[in-house]
């Protein structure tokens, strides 16, 4: 296999790996936000509903009504936004991007160095690129705040395995396109 082609495949695999890293971290940040929002809406709604029912039994109708109204508003917002489902969707998307990232890393670090036939390597790389594109099209958009948090975390070294810091060069700290 020509060194030029091998080098180009390493570079392209690195791009896919980096894209997958940023996408996974961004989705995980979005999942965390939506999961927290679910708790911040759900717990007060349940507590207010319980307190409202208790005050109704004490015949404090105005307080009970206000608390019940507040509980129903929080419940309506939670139902409309559906943060639990959004959290789950983003978490699944992050896991899929992480899976792709792991396979690309193995491809880049092992398969390209193992003497596998050139055609098989090219096919593998193209399939991984198509999978990345498919994930990007089918997954929800990462909110800008989640992407920024992910980028800060990556640049702070959160995504670097300890073994990689001593054996290989980590991914370059590039500014991905938002």
Kindly state the average pLDDT of the residues 119-140. 97
Kindly state the average pLDDT of the residues 8-26. 97
| pLDDT confidence band for 26 (50 / 70 / 90) | very high
In whole numbers, what is the pLDDT of the chain averaged over residues?
91
Q: What is the pTM of this model?
A: 0.83
- pLDDT of 121 higher than 90: yes
- pLDDT of 61 higher than 50: yes
Give, rounded to a whole angstrom, the gap between the first and last alpha carbons of the chain.
36
Residues 108-116: contacts with CB under 8 Å, at least 24 apart: 108/10, 108/13, 108/14, 108/17, 109/168, 112/6, 112/9, 112/10, 112/13
Kindly state the average pLDDT of the residues 32-50. 97
Residues 6+ apart with CB under 8 A from 2: none
Task: For 62-108, write each residue's pLDDT tens digit.
Answer: 999 999 999 999 999 999 999 999 999 999 999 999 999 999 999 99
């Amino acid at each position: 296999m020509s060194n030029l082609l091998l080098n180009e495949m390493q570079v392209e695999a690195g791009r896919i790996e980096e894209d997958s890293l940023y996408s996974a971290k961004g989705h995980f940040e979005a999942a965390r936000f939506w999961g927290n929002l679910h708790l911040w809406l759900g717990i007060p709604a349940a507590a207010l509903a319980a307190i409202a029912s208790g005050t109704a039994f004490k015949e404090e109708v105005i307080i009970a009504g206000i608390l019940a109204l507040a509980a129903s508003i929080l419940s309506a917002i939670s139902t409309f936004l559906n943060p639990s489902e959004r959290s789950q969707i983003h978490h699944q998307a992050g896991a899929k991007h992480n899976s792709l990232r792991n396979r690309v890393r193995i491809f880049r670090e092992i398969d390209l160095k193992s003497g596998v036939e050139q055609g098989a390597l090219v096919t593998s790389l193209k399939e991984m690129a198509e999978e990345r594109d498919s994930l990007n099209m089918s997954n929800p958009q990462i909110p800008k705040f989640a992407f920024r948090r992910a980028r800060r975390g990556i640049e702070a070294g959160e995504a670097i395995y300890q073994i990689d810091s001593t054996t290989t060069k980590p991914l370059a700290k590039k500014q991905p396109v938002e």
